[in-house]
Structure 1
């Protein structure tokens, strides 16, 4: 809780503390304006206005927690969201990142705040396109995390409807998805490279040794203090050449000590590495003693070097092999006979790694150059892993004499590390936080930025406004989806109603008798084509008119008692023969049948009158005369 913030809502803070203590969801680092709006919306849906009452409601109805979390954690995501940014990542950023990796070296990717998984599978598609499917399966691990277990469950299933995959290009949709009925499932063989797990960015430790960290439109929901804490963890999680990919509404305004932009418009950043002080490195074990009277001289000194337990060779500044020890002979296949030969003539100079350029680098930069995990295939078929260090040698005046190249066999250690890494894959998120010192230095650095404080404050306010707008846009997206669903239901019901109306019109039009449907107020609701033929009035002239007030050749006064009795619900079907005058002025006999619209015991919502000309019914002179 930010105790210094103005206008603190004590009820909201109590609710957040309740959620943290009872359910383990810590929303106290989220922006209060967004939280307040979403919580209020959920409380309004259940008809509660007081936070205390709502806490009681949560205690009584456990299922309400799920509804509240779904309201707070708006999981609005999509495949290839902001296509321009993804295109830039695929064409410009990832090729450079892959170039820093050795052939076959693993690529580790973290999708933080992955929601229902679209972003993680988008990463899989992009990397599979760059590396090829086979290399993707062998090299890439994508760790996708979120705080919402329900969203993670959906993500693990990897099944999406047609609307959700609409942004995936048709060619890629065919290549990376399988059709399962009306839905699409991500390819199972590639799905195994995507590992989903719960991780709360605010509380849990980060995943380490990450090459690409994607966290889009997640930080904008958090306070500036919480953002700072999470970004420090991201800095720890990324490798030395790691890349951070944020959403379009997020910027790093006060974290220049941690990240610098590769493309600010598309929100792509790289990690600021710690710079180690440069300077000459002490020589490793090859220089004859210069102290007078030193007992270790001549052959004794050389034998000491030759018997060293670590494979080592020395190359002079002019590129000549000056020393090869016995451990190097056994491990690398070089020989003492190679002393005095140009180093470039040795196979070791270019296999398993191009050593000559590292030797030149060590001499020119006057520092040790280290190569990790060099793979060497031996003649017996075994592959060993070496850690190689190229260190410059100096004379007492500081001039470069050459370099010593040492090879440490770390095969067993690497195998043990690989076994432990596979066995503890699910425990990688439990690494201890090692950034407390860095955070203290960061705080000191921020205090020294007083000269630009006003500008940063203005930028923060603008950024906050932009994030609020983005949050509202996310909510509008969610509301729009709900309205779309309602609209689809209304369209279905309208289609059903139209079909029913067409069917009713067909039935009424096909009857030989004139049909009139009256409401409880005796206003005409339906008038079929045969009724028009009998009395000469069109449907649009009579619908909505009081039946007993119509000017037709039917003695309505004689029908009135039958109609009233039918409306009362006390009578069933009734029949009455009357004399009438049709639309041509001819006297006819008419048989009128009345019935109620339903069997309501007290009153009918309306009646149906069926009128059919009855040639057997006598037409009296009085009935034939409209004026009588």
Structure 2
């Protein structure tokens, strides 16, 4: 019996249990995906991992969470490219964007959303076309492009905005020269325009959509989902669009059953416009801010308010209307490594703006819509500590005339609550069996009602089956293309990595061992990460005997009391080089006079990751 035959006999309940576990443990909800293609991809991964049943594979996932990465990469086919389907993008360039700009004022903001952006090529394609149409200066001042996906690895690649030569082959030469620069053999999208593109995780099935978008691009994403999930997502895309906004779908996707919401602009290229008068109650929001009237005010309260804000037990950051950091309390400084020097900087220049979660999109939404946003289940992993969970509140600060003064970002530590909730969920799981029995009875009653509706559904089924067949063919083509791209990428990466590692290793070894002095590099925990040949001559210990060891714990004739202040100074003020002369004993037991020089050791990103020690024996 073949693997495929054995897998085909597995009960549907076991497969659904696998999907439920992925949703509850990792937040990836695949229950709305078409079962035919979803089962095929899961089976493909199970075959590679060496499992025959869904139960065994579920046990393997629970025991080894690293398998999730390979499974998600198999399910999420991140096939994308710049200007994919060039004729369709030419229509967007020549017809849609000029009409969109003509309908808006010369200073009105332009908002676009790339839903399912994968590794970012689609979002940067939108950016190039808008920059060409508006000019770089207007683009930087007016345009915000929100690019979302459920795949964090793909988003990390997209944020880097770095692509190899094969990836940019589809970019027209003129645009390639204008919007990219070559760095170390790769093509980097220009940083000043890159700031207009905001990447963040968003599950189209579960998460709230971006709002008031003039252009929404969601290509070749709906075709992987079942009919009910497609209808729900189309409703979200309709909500996301501004009045008379444009929706751009993939060539295998249609909106035949949504003619009341969308008007086709070009069916061949799957371009639609939000129908006039199709807005509903979901599109109107009341402002969250309420003016507070005071009976009177006391003099001299400003210092007291400042101290109260600084001493607040909850981490909080306040930014102005132009995203400049105005206030940071002590708890935020301790939690995220901030300081008073960060006040006056732009929020996007701080690490906390995108780690542990992308905040800029929520801040922008709070400013535009004048209503608070809440980001739940945000995990913050600190080095050497247990993970902390936050619930982040983003609150617009408005005056009595509803004018925007700034935005407050508050990080509530909900770790204890989450731990308690997990215990409650575990307890409730014992009650779910009884609930499922009651639900089964309810489903039997619903079946009777569904039979009455079957006549109407049969008419819809004929149309959906035709569309499903077309989408399945497109899915298989995407999978084949994905496999081919992966093989090319793996082959190129392995070849390049092998050559680069050999060259860099040889060069660094020669450089370090050519230094006549003793050279040691330690990290912030004072562990040895580099020990050159000069150190071997001085102390008689080989590099493999010292790497990873705390330098003050090595049995060598170097006085550690004189060493610690030099290393500490390098961390405090890396710009200053400290030196001193000490008495030591070399590997032969001979007393020597040693000159020590210490300076901060910077990484390629400019951060101080350790200290560099040079040791010279004086005659």
Whole-Å separation in 2 of the counterparts to 1:473 and 1:414: 55
Q: Report what 1:234 is aligned to.
A: 237
Q: Report what 2:403 is aligned to.
A: 416
Q: Does 1:46 align with 2:25?
A: no
**How far has the Cα of 1:481 moved from its partner?**
2.4
Distance of aligned partners of 1:39 and 1:243 in 2 relative to their CA distance in 1, 3 Å threshold? same
Q: Report what 1:211 is aligned to.
A: 214
Whole-Å separation in 1 of the counterparts to 2:401 and 2:190: 32
Q: Report what 2:84 is aligned to.
A: 81
Q: Report what 2:466 is aligned to.
A: 462
Q: Is the 8 A contact 1:75 1:115 kept in 2?
A: yes
Report the count of equivalent residues. 333
The alignment partner of 2:403 has SS state of: helix
**How far has the Cα of 1:482 moved from its partner?**
3.9
TM-superposition CA deviations, 1:238-265 (whole Å, max 9, x none):
1111111001111112111221211111
Which of 237, 248, 253 is the equivalent residue of 2:251?
Answer: 248
TM-superposition CA deviations, 1:266-300 (whole Å, max 9, x none):
00011123279xxxxxxxxxxxxxxxxxxxxxxxx
Q: Report what 1:56 is aligned to.
A: 59
Q: Does 1:72 align with 2:95?
A: no
Whole-Å separation in 2 of the counterparts to 1:275 and 1:222: 24
Q: Is the 8 A contact 1:160 1:183 kept in 2?
A: yes
Which of 167, 170, 183 is the equivalent residue of 2:173?
Answer: 170
Q: Is the 8 A contact 2:131 2:139 kept in 1?
A: yes
Which of 151, 157, 162 is the equivalent residue of 2:154?
Answer: 151
Distance of aligned partners of 1:261 and 1:453 in 2 relative to their CA distance in 1, 3 Å threshold? farther
Q: Is the 8 A contact 1:116 1:155 kept in 2?
A: yes
Q: Is the 8 A contact 1:162 1:183 kept in 2?
A: yes
Q: Report what 2:114 is aligned to.
A: 111
The alignment partner of 1:273 has SS state of: coil
Q: Report what 1:268 is aligned to.
A: 271
Structure exhibiting the larger radius of gyration computed from Cα positions: 1
Whole-Å separation in 2 of the counterparts to 1:272 and 1:453: 26
**How far has the Cα of 1:461 moved from its partner?**
0.9
TM-superposition CA deviations, 1:389-423 (whole Å, max 9, x none):
xxxxxxxxxxxxxxxxxxxxxx9778724745xx6
Whole-Å separation in 1 of the counterparts to 2:52 and 2:122: 37
Written as runs of structure 1 = structure 2, the 5 A alignment for 1:533-572 is none
Whole-Å separation in 1 of the counterparts to 2:132 and 2:469: 37
Whole-Å separation in 2 of the counterparts to 1:418 and 1:251: 43
Q: Report what 1:481 is aligned to.
A: 485
The alignment partner of 1:10 has SS state of: helix
Q: Report what 2:33 is aligned to.
A: 30
The alignment partner of 1:257 has SS state of: coil
Q: Report what 2:368 is aligned to.
A: none
**How far has the Cα of 1:479 moved from its partner?**
1.8
Which of 18, 24, 35 is the equivalent residue of 1:21?
Answer: 24
Q: Is the 8 A contact 1:210 1:239 kept in 2?
A: yes
**How far has the Cα of 1:8 moved from its partner?**
7.1
RMSD of equivalent CA atoms: 3.2
**How far has the Cα of 1:489 moved from its partner?**
10
- Normalised to the residue count of structure 1, the TM-score between the two structures is 0.50
Whole-Å separation in 2 of the counterparts to 1:93 and 1:11: 47
Which of 102, 124, 130 is the equivalent residue of 1:121?
Answer: 124
Whole-Å separation in 2 of the counterparts to 1:488 and 1:106: 41
